[in-house]
Amino acid sequence: MTLRIFEALVGAGLSLLALAIWLWGIPAWVEPNDFVTVAPDLMPRVAVGAIGVLGALMCLHRLFLEPDRTTPAPIEPATIGLALIVLALFAVSVTLMLTVGFLVGGVFITGALTVFMGQRTWWAILLTAVCPPLLLWGFFEVLLGIPLP
Amino acid sequence: MLDTVITAFSDALTVQTLVLIVAGVFIGQFFGAIPGLSALTAIAIAVPLTYYFTPVGALAFLVSINKGGTVGGSVSAILMNTPGTPEAAATAFDGHPLAKQGKGLKALKMALFSSVTGDTLSDFVLFAVSAPLALIAIRMGPTEMLAVIVFALTIIASLVGKSMFKGLIAAFLGLLLATVGLDPEGGTSRFIFGMPDLMDGLPISAVGIGVLAMAEVLRQLIVLRGAAGDSHLPLSSERPEDKRLSWAEYRACLRTILRSAAIGTGIGALPGIGSSAAAFIGYNAAIRASKHPETFGKGNIEGVAATESANSSVVGANFIPLLSLGIPGNVAAALILGAFIVHGIQPGPHLMQEQGRLVYAMFAAMVIANGTNLLLGYFGLRIFALAARAPALVVFPTIGLVCLTGAFLTSGTFGLPLVVGFAVIGYLMRALGFSFVTFIIGFVLGPSFELSFRQTVILADGDLGYLVDRPIAMVIFALSAFALSRTIWRHVSTSGKPVTP
């Protein structure tokens, strides 16, 4: 897929998303109020409307006016996969921090990301996994008295 | 006047503030030196920490990080040809060839001196201009403020990034997210999804950490995965003349430094145009003014002086619109605006009148930070050269954890998932080429925009003639319309050429 088509799809997608928020999202999530001069949903509608119109214009521009018809789209399944892995690691770490505590979650995320980055020496992984969370915990909890989860 | 200066320096010369200035400059230089990180990342992470400082200490800390970052960025640009910060990209053009010739230390010293000179000059322009500008701005009503915000958003959206559509979409997304919370007039809820934590809106620090810092960490983790650690060139050859920068060499570049400082200050005072643009424009101006333009790009030390002076002089000038109008000049200023608000201070025309002592203490802290930047930069060059090649597999996991810690400090347990969510948004914006600069500035200006709009509607009471009675606002609205039409016209007239609007 070329960059032109990819960006046209992004523009169309944004436009459809904006339309959905305009039709269903704003009525559902913005509480009405008849006793104010400017309705609470005006600013959200202005922003969503502008995004929708600009998305549609971007789509039309890429389809009919964009002269670059050869550059490939920046879609690399491997990169998307890696991004999802890192996000999953952060999600697990946040869950661990909220349920078990900062130190466990911290050791998990630094250790896991060090392995993800390519470190295979066990003592280096251990050092990177343990030292930063311990230092941060010591700095905030012990030195400054600011509680961490 | 003298009393004001003495009071400002006595407020800034407390132990806490001095420690924070030194720490801020060090952190800024350290983050700036590491490729992939920048002062912006450091500021985003540091904003939550400032909750525990005095207002003067908090602002001094953040401003010092910003100043330190511009110096640190030159280290990896010169020694590794990998700019630590985007604004240092032009520094590599001549800095790296100089390092290849064994003159890395000389180039670093020139970068440091020209950077601090440009920054100091820009600060003095800020000190001179912000109070008179605020005096003018104080006469402005909500309609004029609305016009100024519209103008700023128009300029930002049309100048930032390669695509006007993407810039505007990002700005409106920022405006949309700024509406989360309670409606400012009636107090009814908007997009809070039953979560009481969202009633006060999305915290700027969580949004900043997510979109700026954590998304960048995420990107770097993927880009640098499995990459071997970069090594850089030696600092200098054994020849003494390659290690030092003489007064004559600095003086020979002084004209270039001053020219670039003027360019950077002018650019910095306009919202949205950042240090990178200033650096490239300063560099091109130096080439045009030189009698030997062919030497640029091959190790001309004037090239280093031109870029570093220009990009550093943006830092002070960015505060001109922030302090006088409450409009951030760039993302760093937007984050610092967030810190102002956290401490109960509203930047804008009334700031000088209501918090004059604080503003002047901040000015004094800026002067002290410039001196610290010079000293730390001079004596810490070797440390920052080491930082430039710090292993990515230690740096980025640690910064990722620091981001989560910062999110917890600012918004409690609610901040942790929020920051991961905004990291996803920030990563997608980078991957799809949407400007996070317009997004953040739209998000920060959103509440002021809505408030000014509501006040204008209430004051006008349905009568459009009200606007005609506000000639200044009408002129600014006309300028906004002109700026937007010019951008659209430029887009239409070049639509046959390979330019992406």
Give A28-59 pLDDT, tens digit per residue.
999 998 888 889 999 999 999 999 999 999 99
Across the interface, whether the CB atoms of A94 and B225 are under 8 A apart is answered: no
pLDDT tens for A72-83 read 887 788 889 999
Give CA–CA dist B91/B114, Å, rounded: 12
Neighbour count for residue B66 (Cβ, 10 Å): 32
Q: Is the pLDDT of residue A63 over 60?
A: yes
Q: Side-chain half-sphere of B266: how many Cα atoms within 13 Å?
A: 11
Using a CB-CB cut-off of 8 Å, the residues of chain B touching A50 are 168-169, 172
Give CA–CA dist B435/B425, Å, rounded: 11
Q: Looking at the domain assignment, is residue B501 inside a domain?
A: no
Burial bucket for residue B309 (CB in 10 Å: 0-12, 13-18, 19+): buried
Q: What is the pLDDT of residue B332?
A: 84
CA distance B446 to chain A (A): 9
User: Which range of residues forms the domain containing residue B159?
Assistant: 2-493
Q: Looking at the domain assignment, is residue B498 inside a domain?
A: no
Touching B: A residues 88-147, CB under 8 Å: 90-91, 93-94, 97-98, 102, 105-106, 109-111, 113-114, 116-119, 128, 132-133, 136, 140, 144, 146
Q: What is the pLDDT of residue B182?
A: 92
A105: closest CA among A114, A113, A95, A115?
A: A95
Q: What is the pLDDT of residue B157?
A: 65
The angle, 0 to 180 degrees and rounded to 10, between the axes of the packed helices B55-80 and B356-379 is: 30
Q: What is the pLDDT of residue B160?
A: 60
Nearest chain A residue (CA) to B217: A86
Q: Looking at the domain assignment, is residue B284 inside a domain?
A: yes
Q: What is the pLDDT of residue B472?
A: 86
Residue A54 forms contact with B (CB below 8 Å): yes
Which residues are CB-neighbours of B320 under 8 A, at least 6 positions away? Answer: B125, B126, B129, B130, B133, B268, B269, B329
Touching A: B residues 65-124, CB under 8 Å: none
Give CA–CA dist A93/A106, Å, rounded: 7
DSSP structural state of residue A140: I
Average pLDDT score over residue span A53-67: 89
HEC assignment per residue over B281-344: HHHHHHHHHCCCHHHCCCCCHHHHHHHHHHHHHHHHHCHHHHHHHCCCCCHHHHHHHHHHHHCC
Q: What is the pLDDT of residue B501?
A: 47
Q: Looking at the domain assignment, is residue B424 inside a domain?
A: yes
DSSP structural state of residue A146: -
Give CA–CA dist B286/B296, Å, rounded: 9
Scored b (16 or more CB within 10 A) or e, B429-466 reads bbbebbbbbbbbbbbbbbbbbbbbbbbbbeebeeeeee
HEC assignment per residue over B405-449: HHHHHHHHHHHHHHHHHHHHHHHHHHHHCCCHHHHHHHHHHHHHH
If you search the block for the tokens 């251990």, which residue do you land on? A126
Give CA–CA dist A29/A35, Å, rounded: 18
CA distance A125 to chain B (A): 9
Q: What are phi and psi of A39, to 5 degrees?
A: -60, 145
Q: Which of B179, B186, B496 sits opposite A35 (nearest CB)?
A: B186
* Cβ contact B444:B204 at 8 Å: yes
CA distance B350 to chain A (A): 26
This complex has an ipTM of: 0.93
Q: Which of A44, A94, A106 sits opposite B179 (nearest CB)?
A: A44
Q: What is the pLDDT of residue B370?
A: 93
Interface test with A, best of B150, B166, B183, B425 (most A CBs within 10 A): B183
B241: closest CA among B252, B233, B249?
A: B249
DSSP structural state of residue B231: -
Q: Looking at the domain assignment, is residue B500 inside a domain?
A: no
Using a CB-CB cut-off of 8 Å, the residues of chain A touching B399 are none
Using a CB-CB cut-off of 8 Å, the residues of chain A touching B168 are 50, 54
Angle (CA) B68-B43-A94 rounded to 5° is 140
Q: Side-chain half-sphere of B195: how many Cα atoms within 13 Å?
A: 14
Q: What is the pLDDT of residue B232?
A: 58
Sign for the CA dihedral angle at B212, B215, B218, B223 comes to: negative
Q: Looking at the domain assignment, is residue B499 inside a domain?
A: no
Q: What is the pLDDT of residue B499?
A: 44
* Cβ contact B86:B161 at 8 Å: no
Across the interface, whether the CB atoms of A136 and B190 are under 8 A apart is answered: no
Nearest chain A residue (CA) to B496: A67
Q: Is the pLDDT of residue A12 over 90?
A: yes
Using a CB-CB cut-off of 8 Å, the residues of chain B touching A54 are 165, 168-169, 172
Nearest chain A residue (CA) to B191: A29
Nearest chain B residue (CA) to A64: B495
Across the interface, whether the CB atoms of B176 and A44 are under 8 A apart is answered: yes
Q: What is the pLDDT of residue A130?
A: 95
The angle, 0 to 180 degrees and rounded to 10, between the axes of the packed helices A77-99 and A102-117 is: 160
Q: Looking at the domain assignment, is residue B193 inside a domain?
A: yes
Give CA–CA dist B57/B50, Å, rounded: 8
Scored b (16 or more CB within 10 A) or e, B119-132 reads bbbbbebbbebbbe
Q: Which of A55, A116, A136 sits opposite B405 (nearest CB)?
A: A136
| Per-residue tens of pLDDT for chain B, all 501 residues | 677 778 888 888 889 899 999 999 999 998 888 777 778 888 888 888 888 888 889 999 999 999 998 888 888 788 877 666 667 778 888 888 888 888 888 899 999 999 999 999 999 998 888 888 888 877 788 888 888 888 888 777 666 666 888 888 999 999 999 999 999 888 899 999 988 889 989 988 888 889 988 898 898 888 888 765 555 566 666 777 777 788 898 999 999 999 999 998 988 887 666 677 788 888 888 988 888 888 888 889 999 999 999 989 988 888 888 888 888 877 888 888 888 887 888 887 788 778 888 888 999 999 999 999 999 998 887 787 777 777 888 888 998 998 899 888 878 888 899 999 999 999 999 889 898 888 888 898 888 889 889 989 888 887 878 888 888 889 989 988 888 888 777 766 665 554 444
Q: Is the pLDDT of residue A71 over 60?
A: yes
Instruction: Please tell me the total count of domains within chain B.
Output: 1
Q: What is the pLDDT of residue B375?
A: 94
Q: Looking at the domain assignment, is residue B69 inside a domain?
A: yes
Q: What is the pLDDT of residue B229?
A: 57
Give CA–CA dist B478/B378, Å, rounded: 49
